């Protein structure tokens, strides 16, 4: 039978790197094509690279039909699950596949709510993936992709905001997930410029983004030079006000002493002054 290569299906999963393709070619030439190619009718679903290499070198191969597929969506889900289980798939690729799976499952759930009960039951029976499975939470996505929750967050950010050049860099392994997620917060033009300058500049751009995020936190925790100056100036004003108040209190105390002296004796006499002598000529 003639095998049909659907370009959309072929591109649905990221292609092998040149090194991976060469390793697969060497393996097929040495050991032959041991795994059967998976077909949906006459459409090739799994084994595009093996099929191309076998055609190139005239190597024999076997095929197997998957009769459970009812739609292209079923095919996509099956392809996703197959690649999520492979060790050679990178963390970023697994995260992207899990996000695609979430979209498909969410779409099926919405259609199941809107469709008649009979249609929903029929679709659930035909689907290779349980319609009731939910991937709405990051924890569920992380389990499906065998990743950590914070890695899923970073991959979502990269998918939503990263320039194509940054995505290509993380796919090739030039930068880490965390670095790519940091760079993705920059304007697209700056991302592209950093990527064009090379992986070292991408790493520096990620470092600048992280430092910029940490700076406001440090300023809140530790007062800056201006704050310290303001605090010192405020302290000097407080000391001056206290000194002024002390002088006022000393003046008030002096005035009170004078009043006390006036009450105890004649003006000018202090407390304890000798009483006036008796007049000697005064009659008894």
Per-residue pLDDT of 109-168, as tens digits, reads 888 888 765 555 555 544 444 444 568 888 999 999 999 999 999 999 999 999 999 999
Winning range, highest mean pLDDT, from 55-59, 118-122, 136-140, 170-174? 55-59
Alpha-carbon distances, residue 61 vs 1, 11, 36, 211 (angstroms): 13, 22, 7, 55
pLDDT-derived band at 214 (thresholds 50, 70, 90) equals: confident
CA distance linking residue 15 with residue 48, whole number of Å: 10
Integer Cα distance of 274 and 187 in angstroms: 96
What pLDDT is attached to residue 280?
A: 42
Q: Nearest-5° angle of CA 192, CA 171, CA 196?
A: 25
Does 205 have pLDDT greater than 80? Answer: yes
Alpha-carbon distance 270 to 263, whole Å? 10
Q: pLDDT value at position 118?
A: 53
Instruction: Give the pLDDT mean for 257-271.
Output: 67
In this predicted model, which residue has the larger pLDDT, 126 or 51? 51
**CA distances for 115 relative to 109, 112, 119, 122, 135, angstroms:** 10, 5, 6, 11, 21
Q: Residue-wise over 117-127: b if at least 16 C-beta within 10 A, else e?
A: eeebeebeeeb
| Band of pLDDT at residue 228, cut at 50, 70 and 90 | low
User: What's the average model confidence in pLDDT over 72-91?
Assistant: 92
Other beta carbons within 10 angstroms of residue 263's beta carbon come to: 8
User: What's the pLDDT at 241?
Assistant: 73
pLDDT band at 217 (very low <50, low <70, confident <90, very high): low
Look-up of token digits 């299906």: 9
Q: For residues 191 and 201, what is the distance between their CA atoms, to the nearest angstrom?
A: 10
Alpha helices in the chain (DSSP H): 7-12, 18-31, 48-57, 72-84, 91-114, 117-126, 138-145, 149-161, 164-172, 177-183, 188-197, 199-221, 225-264
With the CA atoms of 245, 249, 251 and 257 taken in that order, what torsion angle do they form, in degrees rounded to the nearest 10?
180
Structure tokens at 255: 């005035």
Residues 102/141, Cβ–Cβ less than 8 Å: yes
Between 47 and 277, the more confident residue is 47
The answer for 186, left when phi > 0, alpha when psi is -120 to 50, beta otherwise, is beta
Average pLDDT of the residues in 254-280: 61
pLDDT at 236: 66
Average pLDDT over residues 10-34: 94
Supply the mean pLDDT for the chain.
Answer: 83
224 has a pLDDT exceeding 80: no
Report the DSSP beta bridge partners of residue 63: 37
| pLDDT at residue 281, as a whole number | 44
């Amino acid at each position: 039978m003639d095998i049909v290569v659907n370009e959309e299906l072929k591109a649905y999963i990221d292609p092998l790197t040149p090194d991976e393709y060469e390793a697969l070619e060497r393996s097929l030439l040495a050991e032959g094509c041991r795994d059967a190619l998976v077909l949906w009718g006459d459409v090739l679903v799994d084994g595009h690279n093996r099929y191309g290499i076998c055609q190139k070198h005239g190597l024999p191969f076997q095929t197997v039909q998957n009769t459970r597929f009812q739609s292209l969506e079923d095919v996509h889900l099956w392809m996703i699950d197959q690649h999520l289980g492979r060790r050679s798939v990178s963390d970023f690729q697994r995260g992207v596949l899990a996000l695609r799976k979430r979209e498909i499952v969410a779409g099926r759930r919405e259609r199941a709510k809107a469709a008649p009960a009979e249609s929903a039951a029929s679709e659930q029976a035909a689907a290779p993936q349980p319609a009731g499975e939910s991937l709405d939470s990051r924890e569920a996505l992380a389990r499906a992709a065998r990743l950590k929750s914070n890695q899923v967050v970073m991959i979502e950010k990269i998918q939503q905001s990263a320039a194509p050049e940054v995505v290509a860099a993380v796919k090739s392994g030039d930068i880490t997930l965390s670095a790519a997620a940091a760079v993705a917060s920059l304007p697209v033009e700056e991302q592209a410029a950093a990527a064009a300058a090379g992986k070292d500049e991408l790493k520096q751009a990620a470092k600048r983004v992280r430092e910029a995020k940490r700076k406001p936190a440090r300023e809140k925790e530790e007062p800056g030079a201006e704050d310290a100056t303001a605090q010192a100036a405020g302290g000097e004003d407080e000391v001056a006000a206290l000194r002024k108040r002390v002088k006022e209190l000393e003046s008030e105390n002096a005035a009170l002493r004078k009043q006390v002296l006036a009450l105890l004796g004649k003006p000018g006499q202090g407390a304890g002054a000798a009483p006036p002598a008796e007049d000697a000529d005064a009659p008894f």
